[in-house]
Amino acid sequence: MWLYVVVLLAVLPSVALMWLYVVVLLAVLWVLGWLWRDSLLVGKISEKFVFVTGCDSGFGNLLCKRLDRQGFRVLAGCLTQKGADDLQRSSGPNLKTVLLDVTDSASVQRAVEWVQGEVGERGLWGLVNNAGRSVPMGPTEWMRMEDFHSTLRVNMLGVIETTLGFLPLLKRARGRVVNVASVLGRLAANGGGYCISKFGVEAFSDCLRRDIHYFGIKVSIIEPGFFRTAVTSLEPIERELHRLWEQLSPEVRESYGEKYFDKYIKIQRFVMNTFCDPDLSKVTDCMEHALKAKFPRTRYSAGWDAKVGWIPFSYAPAFIIDSMLNTVLPRPAQSA
């Protein structure tokens, strides 16, 4: 009996070590298989049409130029004629522009009809819903309903209406939908419509992906961290904060105090100046992969602040995130 126990104790470590090797080997093989699958690309790029919204500047502008250089047939939706003209001048003949205001149903419909005339029976390979705005953002009590509506109309309702309009063309090509959300669609860090709209884009994209995969359409979500674009420009952010502050009633303004307002402005400056990454290609690389890969990912986290900060923190218990944010933000004058 004792001999059996001694032999068993001698054998167990080697058996455990053998299973550890097996698990490690399987994990390595899985990673290598995933990397290989992730690297597979679609063909005939020169025959594929991609429509991008919000191309006057930022991610959309850079994406259009890069797709154009790679041979895609790029159709760019710009809000302003100047933005369209500037993009057209800096691109090749395979890139065409159209004016598009995603908050205007008639404008969306005109863009759909124009794209249909361009793509014909081939259909639309890619739709990139990139148009967005961030302001106004600030404490929730400072907002009026129109402040929420102005952001939701662009960032969420615009995405939904544009996607629904282009779905017949996407089904024809068995194409892709790429929706630009944000890390703030995973972890809400400030008041206003921005975080709400990006949570909405996440939910809409998940529902859409499950509903239309039967037609061969793939849906990807881009979750950028903080990048230096018009959305994170300090000038409009501060201008809107001053507008919100001035429209408050004397009672509400007194409850927060001038020091609160001054500190809130300083925090916005610190965040935008410290954390905004100027390398927009980290985001457009994700967009390109979603359009070119045979097996695009469901979600792309763009930027190191997203990968090691915002996304992991989004899984933390609420009381931890609340404590962290409350430590950073100023306290109102009449706080309990």
Q: Which residues are catalytic?
A: 194
Q: How many CB atoms lie within 10 A of CB 184?
A: 23
- Supply φ then ψ for residue 124, to 5 degrees: -105, 120
CA angle 23–26–28, rounded 5-degree value: 110
Burial call 44-74: b when 16+ CB within 10 Å, e when fewer: ebeebbbbbbbbbbbbbbbbbbbbbeeebbb
Largest CA distance in the chain: 89
Cα separation, 116 vs 159, in Å, equals 18
Identity of the amino acid at 291? L
Alpha helix (H) ranges present in the chain?
2-39, 58-70, 81-89, 105-119, 145-152, 158-173, 193-212, 234-247, 250-256, 258-275, 281-292, 304-305, 311-313, 318-328
Q: Which pair of tokens denotes residue 57?
A: 């500047």
User: Cβ distance 183 to 166 under 8 Å?
Assistant: no
Q: How many CB atoms lie within 10 A of CB 163?
A: 19
**Cα dihedral: 188, 193, 194, 200 (round 10):** 80
Cα separation, 160 vs 202, in Å, equals 11
Cα separation, 54 vs 118, in Å, equals 19
Nearby residues of 241 by Cβ (< 8 Å), 6 or more positions away:
136, 138, 261, 264, 265, 268
Tell me the pairing of strands 73-78 and 95-99: parallel
